[in-house]
């Protein structure tokens, strides 16, 4: 009698698992409560991990367990060792296969690894939201039944901090045609107190047109000393020249053309207008920043100042005139660069 062909679990691109109905019956023999379902899923996850690890060892050795190809080889299967792994949902006691020579280093669960990346991501996300170590401990215990030590959480967050420091100190290119300096106001937990702080961003445009975040700095208020620290940081990391700096003010690169951000100038202008007038005021200001030259822009600004909108909102034209020295470099740029700025 021919042996019945065993059905395999397969995954086709863009499709889900093709599971053997007999496997489903084994996993779900009848009506189950949530706790039992979680237990069955954990058992299935454990079995999949162990099967995958076994496949890794087979690939490492070059033959299946018990295969005739093992004859004459010095390295063989050498049982398993149990390791407790923290996953996104639970703790699993996984049997890790070993080889006699100790050269097998699995990719799925590397030597020394006690958790999966997804689990780390949860800890990092909670830490980034300002939760304390004890709060993270309580959340993991309540939601997943996983008890972790403060040292474990600190190890995860410290690893990220080390990566951030490495990124902050990485060398930069010697020249950037354009660098944008901008700020985002956020609430950050500092020594147990939530404070309003600004995250300052330096975004560089390379010669090939690609963009790179050069750095991030957190400060409650900006001032000359702060910007001096930012500029010195960029210099120490290799930046020698910035052709165009889009910022409210910059010292440290004396040959740099300082260009105020036109978008910010427009937004600040619209703060003086009522909501129902903002669209019309913005349309009128287009004549200023779309002018072909600095001279034409000055004429357009005078025209706006004496127009009904300029008369209704006189602080707008005054705002542009106060920033005019950092507006006019804009008109010397080619149209493609204007779009960037």
Angle at which helix 278-289 crosses helix 294-306, to 10 degrees, equals: 150
What's the pLDDT band for 4 if we cut at 50, 70, 90? very low
Evaluate whether residue 2 is within a structural domain. no
**Is 225 part of a structural domain of the chain?**
yes
Beta-sheet strands, E only, within the chain: 10-11, 17-18, 77-86, 91-99, 175-190, 193-205, 211-219, 241-246, 257-259
Specify whether 179 is located in the same domain as 151.
Answer: no
The residue segments making up the domain with residue 140 are 119-167
User: What average pLDDT does the segment 269-286 reach?
Assistant: 92
Verdict on whether the full-model pTM lies above 0.75: no
In the chain, % of residues over pLDDT 70: 69
Could you tell me if residue 331 is inside a domain?
yes
> 139: helix, coil or strand?
helix
**Residue 229 and residue 138 share a domain:** no
- Where is pLDDT greater, at 126 or 84? 84
Most confident region among 51-60, 133-142, 286-295 by mean pLDDT: 286-295
Among 207, 237, 259, give the residue marking a domain's end. 259
On whether residue 114 sits in a domain, the answer given is no
Question: Of 206, 238, 259, which residue constitutes the final position of a domain?
Answer: 259
Rounded to 5 degrees, what are φ and ψ at 7? -75, 140
- What 3-state class would DSSP assign to 79? strand
Q: What mean pLDDT comes out for the span 293-322?
A: 92
Residue where one domain finishes, among candidates 91, 109, 127: 109
Is 60 exceeded by the pLDDT of residue 157? yes
Mean pLDDT of 148-174: 77
Residue 182 and residue 157 share a domain: no
74 and 96 belong to one structural domain: yes
- What's the average model confidence in pLDDT over 41-62? 79
17 shares its domain with 100: yes
**3-state secondary structure at position 9:** coil
pLDDT at 310: 92
Two tokens, residue 294: 């600095």
Assess whether pLDDT exceeds 90 at residue 306.
Answer: yes
User: Do 35 and 92 fall within a single domain?
Assistant: yes
Mean local confidence (pLDDT), 196-224: 80
With 0-12 / 13-18 / 19 or more C-beta atoms within 10 angstroms meaning exposed / middle / buried, residue 46 is middle
The confidence score (pLDDT) of residue 7 equals: 38
**Range of weakest confidence among 26-35, 132-141, 287-296:** 26-35
159 phi and psi, to 5 degrees? -60, -40
Report yes or no on 308 lying in a domain. Answer: yes
Average pLDDT in the chain = 76
Question: Same domain, yes or no, for 246 and 276?
Answer: no
Asked whether residue 330 is domain-assigned, the answer is yes
Asked if 99 and 61 touch (Cβ cutoff 8 Å), the reply is yes
The answer on 182 and 212 residing in a single domain is yes
In DSSP terms, which residues pair with 17 in a beta bridge? Answer: 11
Identify whether 293 is part of a domain.
Answer: yes
Tell me which of 126 and 320 has the higher pLDDT: 320
**227 found inside a domain:** yes
What is the tally of structural domains in the chain? 4
Q: Do residues 153 and 96 share a domain?
A: no
Domain shared by 93 and 14, yes or no = yes
What are the structure tokens assigned to 92, written together?
A: 């699993």
Cα 145 from Cα 91, distance rounded (Å): 8
Instruction: Quickly count: other Cβ atoms within 10 Å of residue 238's Cβ.
Output: 12
């Amino acid at each position: 009698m021919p042996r019945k062909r065993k059905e395999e679990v397969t995954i086709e691109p863009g499709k889900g698992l093709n599971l053997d109905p007999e496997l489903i019956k084994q996993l779900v023999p009848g009506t189950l409560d949530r706790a039992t379902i979680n237990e069955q899923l954990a058992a299935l996850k454990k079995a999949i991990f162990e099967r995958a690890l076994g496949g890794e060892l087979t690939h490492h050795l070059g033959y299946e367990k018990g295969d005739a190809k093992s004859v004459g080889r010095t390295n063989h299967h050498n049982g398993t060792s149990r390791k407790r792994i923290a996953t996104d949902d639970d703790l699993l006691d996984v049997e890790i296969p070993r080889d006699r020579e100790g050269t097998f280093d699995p990719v799925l669960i590397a030597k020394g690894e006690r958790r999966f990346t997804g689990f780390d991501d949860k800890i990092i996300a909670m830490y980034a939201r300002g939760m304390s170590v004890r709060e993270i401990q309580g959340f993991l215990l309540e939601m997943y039944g996983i008890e972790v030590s403060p040292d474990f959480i600190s190890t995860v967050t410290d690893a990220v901090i080390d990566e951030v420091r490495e990124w902050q100190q990485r060398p930069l290119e010697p020249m950037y045609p354009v660098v944008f300096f901008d700020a985002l106001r956020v609430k950050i937990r500092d020594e147990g107190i939530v404070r309003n702080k600004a995250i300052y961003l330096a975004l560089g445009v390379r010669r090939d047109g690609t963009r790179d975040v050069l750095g991030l700095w957190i400060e409650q208020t900006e001032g000359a000393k702060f910007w001096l620290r930012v500029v010195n940081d960029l210099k120490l990391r290799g930046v020698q020249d910035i052709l165009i700096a889009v910022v409210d003010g910059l010292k440290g690169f004396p040959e740099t053309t300082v260009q105020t951000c036109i978008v910010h100038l427009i937004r600040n202008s619209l703060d003086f207008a009522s909501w129902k007038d903002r669209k019309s005021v913005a349309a009128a200001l287009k004549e200023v920043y779309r002018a072909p030259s600095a001279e034409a822009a000055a004429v357009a600004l005078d025209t706006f100042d004496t127009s009904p909108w300029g008369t209704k909102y006189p602080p707008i034209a005054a705002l542009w005139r106060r920033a005019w020295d950092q507006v006019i470099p804009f008109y010397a740029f080619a149209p493609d660069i204007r779009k960037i700025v």
